């Protein structure tokens, strides 16, 4: 989709004035600095600016552990049409990447650095605060790149989708965006949080020589002096080895940014009244569950996959959708069901977790090393992009121009992309959500088993 202006989340220079100059379309002046972009080598109609800092590096103002520069990842990348000017005003896609936010690195802090739950910290859920700082920077500065700050859509994938869900509740009264895309799941509870005694951070501190059981502030100050790499390596190796007790650093319910009871907050109207797309892949969990090491092609136990698909993916989507619909929020749904040779190294993967990303952005040819792209795949990708772009253009009414209407509390239609030889079909919502209500059975392969 080259018809939008896109940002991806990732010190601050002195303020300057004005925006894009007529003489040099690769130089942009913002409120926080001057940035010089380049033309994408493979996409000559696209400018890219990176890295674009949106906040001071950690260790100076955040109060978080790990003062080494490796923790300095608060940067954005900005893509725009090459001919964008300050008067262009295309919609802005604020994309939040996925990938196990409790373990891996993004251009916002995660794991112990983003969700430390340390006894000595006054603020928790620093990862959400990083993301919000990035969004605020975009809202205040994106017009310098030609984007329209009043047409921002916040799009999150996987862990980024969970964060998008959290933002829509934490900042419901000042969302800064006109719409949300949550791909795939959203969560109605705080993901099984159990570290109410704040023992995980203290355990790591003890292992790294910062044992202060009676002094939380001393523990924190000691950890601030430990190199980033040493902390990161210890936590990563501990998890990789499967050591007990297991450690987890993720969201902390503090009733400020993360909440214990999302249905209650929704019922009270404390959710951003902005249109949203919530999507799923038909076979989310097949690529995430453990495979038998001695027979990879056989695949995992189908019953275990089905159970996890419902409890961890499909039903949270159905329940979260219903809460928004009950508040009168326009809610669009789609399911990615397409199966193609190039993204499927094993035939039973089906439409697996994140397999719709290459279709959303038209990057599926980059997977040619796994197999050849097909004309059908290209057609599905174009159709999917058209529908999503209609939402980006106008989250309130844009999709209706393509016959895509919001679902309702009793039913409605879900778009199904790539099934049964059709680019898109409209199926009754009960076909995807019914199993969560005891109606019907979840069909993980709407197109049949691939490559039999």
Active site residues: 158, 284, 353
Residue 177 CA: distances (Å) to CA of 238, 262, 334, 343: 39, 20, 21, 32
Q: What is the C-alpha to C-alpha distance for residues 281 and 301, in angstroms, rounded to an integer?
A: 19
Tell me which residue has tokens 């959303």: 360
End-to-end C-alpha distance for the chain, whole angstroms:
33
Closest CA to 200 of 251, 249, 244: 249
- Max CA separation in the chain (angstroms): 65
Residue 54 CA: distances (Å) to CA of 9, 107, 375, 378: 9, 10, 41, 36
Residue 300 CA: distances (Å) to CA of 73, 282, 345: 37, 16, 15
- Is residue 191 within 8 A of residue 253, CB to CB? The reply is no
- Is residue 3 within 8 A of residue 90, CB to CB? The reply is yes
Q: What is the C-alpha to C-alpha distance for residues 96 and 183, in angstroms, rounded to an integer?
A: 10
Give the torsion sign (CA, 361, 151, 180, 384).
negative
Residue 313 CA: distances (Å) to CA of 254, 278, 283, 286, 347: 24, 11, 10, 12, 21
Q: What token pair was written down for 246?
A: 């297991």
Residue 438: CB atoms within 10 Å: 6
- Pairing mode, strands 179-183 and 152-157: parallel
């Amino acid at each position: 989709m080259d018809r939008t202006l896109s940002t991806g989340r990732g010190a601050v220079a002195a303020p300057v004035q004005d925006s894009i100059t007529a003489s040099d379309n690769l130089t942009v002046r913002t409120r926080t600095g001057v940035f010089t972009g380049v033309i994408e080598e493979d996409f000559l109609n696209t400018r890219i600016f990176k890295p674009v800092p949106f906040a001071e590096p950690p260790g100076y103002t955040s109060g978080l552990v790990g003062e080494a520069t490796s923790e300095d990842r608060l940067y954005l990348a900005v893509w725009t049409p090459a001919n964008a000017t300050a008067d262009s005003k295309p919609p802005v896609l604020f994309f939040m990447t996925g990938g196990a936010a409790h373990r891996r690195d993004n251009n916002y802090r995660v794991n112990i650095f983003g969700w430390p739950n340390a006894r000595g910290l006054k603020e928790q859920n620093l990862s959400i605060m990083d993301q919000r700082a990035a969004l605020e920077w975009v809202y205040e500065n994106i017009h310098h790149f030609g984007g329209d700050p009043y047409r921002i859509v916040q799009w999150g994938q996987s862990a980024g989708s969970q964060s998008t869900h959290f933002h829509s509740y934490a900042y419901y009264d000042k969302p800064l965006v006109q719409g949300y895309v949550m791909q795939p799941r959203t969560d109605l509870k705080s993901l099984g949080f159990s570290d109410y005694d704040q023992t995980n951070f203290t355990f790591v501190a003890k292992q790294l020589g910062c044992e202060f059981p009676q002094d939380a502030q001393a523990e924190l100050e000691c950890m601030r002096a430990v190199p980033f790499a040493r902390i990161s390596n210890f936590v990563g190796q501990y998890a990789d080895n499967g050591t007990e007790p297991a450690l987890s650093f993720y969201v902390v319910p503090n009733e400020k940014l993360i909440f214990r009871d999302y249905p209650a907050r929704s019922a009270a109207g404390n959710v951003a009244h902005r249109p949203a797309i919530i999507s799923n892949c038909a076979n989310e969990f097949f690529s995430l569950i453990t495979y038998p090491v001695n027979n990879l092609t056989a695949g995992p136990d189908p019953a275990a996959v089905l159970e996890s698909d419902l409890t961890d993916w499909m039903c949270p989507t159905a329940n979260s959708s219903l809460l928004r619909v009950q508040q009168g929020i326009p809610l669009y749904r789609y399911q990615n069901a397409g199966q193609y040779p190039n993204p499927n190294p094993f035939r039973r993967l089906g439409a697996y977790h994140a397999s719709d990303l290459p279709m959303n952005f038209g990057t599926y040819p980059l997977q040619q090393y796994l197999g050849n792209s097909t004309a059908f795949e290209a057609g599905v990708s174009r159709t999917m992009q058209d529908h999503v772009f209609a939402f980006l253009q106008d989250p309130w009414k844009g999709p209706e121009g393509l016959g895509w209407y919001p679902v309702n509390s009793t039913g409605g239609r879900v778009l199904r992309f790539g099934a049964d030889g059709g680019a898109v079909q409209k199926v009754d919502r009960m076909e995807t959500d019914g199993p969560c209500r005891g109606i019907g059975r979840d069909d993980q392969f709407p197109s049949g088993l691939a490559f039999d």
